[in-house]
Structure 1
Amino acid sequence: MKALWQNYRKNKLAQGIFLLLYIGITSLSLYLAQKSVTAFLLLLASLLLLYFTSFKNVTKWLIAGVVLVILLPFTASNGDGYQSYMEVATLVGIYISMALGLNVVVGMAGLLDLGFIAFFAVGAYSYGIFATAQANHFMPFGHYPLSGESFWIFILIGCFVAALFGILLGIPVLRVKGDYLAIVTLGFGEIIRIIFNNLDRPVNITNGAMGLPSVTPPSLFGIDFLYPSQFYYIVLIILVFTIFTVRRFEHSKIGRSWKAVRENEIAAQAMGVPLVKTKLMAFAIGASFSGMMGVVFAAKQAFVDPTSFTLLESITILVMVILGGMGSVPGVILGAAVMTILNLQVLTEITNWLNQLSTSGAISIPDALSPSKMQRMIFGLLLILFALYRPQGLLPAKNRKYDQKLLQKGSKEANGDSLREQSPIENAQEV
């Protein structure tokens, strides 16, 4: 069996045929059975199978693009469950982007942040205040609410404002580590939520606990974005940008600096890594992705209030990072997708199925024991199981491997060239 698996891993043609058949069958199943959550989940699982193939990265991106941009929306659009499927897919994209931002702070830089949802709130309120009539209470100029075309500018504004708040958080906690850092960031997240909850007096800026209703939907070329199927493409574009940016940072100089700080701050500083700059960049970059998705969330929900940004949400995002694998971009994507789908669809469908059995008299289950109400206990059990048997997560982080002989050969050639360049100078000095 092992030999057969090894042959399959080496045979790209067999992988391509199997993947093509799998995507075709699951797409056809979703197209014919519109209310089948299983078919929807199996089609999404094709992306995980694609990750384990031996194709080049460009090929993987192209196939994933075809599945997400064409196949998934088209095959799900043939029935009443279309918008519900797109709602789940949109929220999966939002949570993946936030989890990738937190992975920069926690997984790469090793800075435990329990108040990450605060940056999401900052982005949401940045758009919500000016996309409703709320800004009329304190802005001496301008006409509000702003039009839906301003949404595209506010994505960038939410990004920069959240990054600024990330820097403001990072400055006072630069010398704090470990448990103390977790306590400080937890307090920061709660402070932001309480400020938004009470910032309705003496000047009414956020409308307090009443929230901001009737947020102006985005519009482009006269088309209003009102449905989850429309927001799906917005989230998909931002998510692709987030993944590309995080991957570039991961293998850049700043990414290696984050990992050095994570492993040992003293050793990293001794090697010339600037601790202040490195930590502040981790907070700012991680927060910026959350701020962008906060703007999208406010526009999609058309309502913003402080109850959406509790400590429990921060812990949920942290669980996504831990479950997928800290420091691993593919792992965090998988962890966020599993947690979101489990929460929004799987547990809900199991609860509905058990309720139908209870109604028909086939089985009697107390309402308090329904899976949707035991969500936190199920997540807790998952964490315990993974801590015991898979502590590195679903897809652990992998470091790039380099050929030592080639590196030594390159260093010798570089040293030889430098010696040849320096020899005339040395001769001149001797003369």
Structure 2
Amino acid sequence: MKKLFHNYINTFKGLSQEIWWLALITLINRAGTMVIPFLSLYLKDDLNFSMSDVGWIMSAFGLGSVAGSWLGGKLTDKIGYYKVMVRSLLSTGFLFIALQFLNSFASICIGIFLVMLVADTFRPAMFVALNAYSKPENKIRSLTLIRLAINLGFSAGPAIGGLIITGLSYSGLFWVDGITCIIATLVMIKVLHPKKAKILDTIVNDNPDSAYNDKAFLIFLVAMVLFGIVFLQYFSTITIYYKDVHTLTEFEIGLLLGGNGFLIFIFEMPLIKWLEGSKYSKLSLMFFGAVLTGFSILVLNFSTWSGVLIIGMLLMTVGEMIAFPFSNSFAVDRAKKGNQGEYMALYSMSFSIAHIFGHNAGMQMTAHLGYDNTWYIVTGIAFVCALILFILNNRLKSKKITNPLSVIKS
């Protein structure tokens, strides 16, 4: 046991101080975003919107995310990642607090769009900051540490969020979200100001390639949109499914989602370190992650026993642990070819586009086709994603290219 613990600690060695601070800021911020997993429940149960209305509101969520990711990439290339991150975090805090006071369909659509527009300018800036604060050989582990911070916050957030809803009300979530964003801003100003932070990897391209001309990258993004559509069902339709079909309480839903984050916190870093040393390419590993995530949805149709929810969550957790770090790394590597903000904005936008279609499609399908048929369709989307990744991987291999940075635009 002592050796196992020692090996686990060793997986974190060599990461820069700035990466650890960035992880702490992400942890503070993510612990506060406990409203997101409960947003569809809040709209349906507290504000009494129909499933169809909830779907359209979640599409406004996705549209704001797309616009924010695009704007964040542009601003990052223009004014730098630090200014974008600080302004995004601070503004998001106040917007989250204000969101609770909206109650009409139109006002909530506009409010959620604005919140996500501002909040998601943070994402491409954060990826560029991570690239700057990390040595080249530590990129994947640095990305994994940030994901650990996200998931540690996410494991605590839903459980605490469930308690807040049970003991107080949904409005308390918005206050906590807003305050934690403001706290994260203050921490960032204190420890990651440009005069204090140490840059370890500066990339300058005099003639950067456009991400829009990188066909392999664009194919990869299509797969990420499909993966996002599948993955995001866990934060909208499946939470409602937990309550409507398996009669789980908000607290029980929070514990189930929190268990996902806890498992990732414990196992992802050793898993990624082990997989880094394997013979498999990033795209091959992402293929495996997509297949596991697809099966996590499919098993929901296998039994009415509530224990199947835990099995599905375990499959999704492993799939997520594999797919996300290596997709992040693939995108960061290719971003070195051109404007980093542009590349990382497109990568962030792939998940934002998934927000537009994923939540709404899930809501509309469950309303008109039922849960069982919806899970079959979503599983099919996961396997299409896996097929695209498989084909792209073989295409790159056929060119006898092992380093994605050297892929010639075709």
Higher helix share: 2
**TM-score of the superposed pair, with normalisation by structure 1:** 0.30
Q: RCO higher in 1 or 2 (8 Å CA, sep ≥ 6)? A: 2
After TM superposition, the score normalised by the length of structure 2 is 0.32
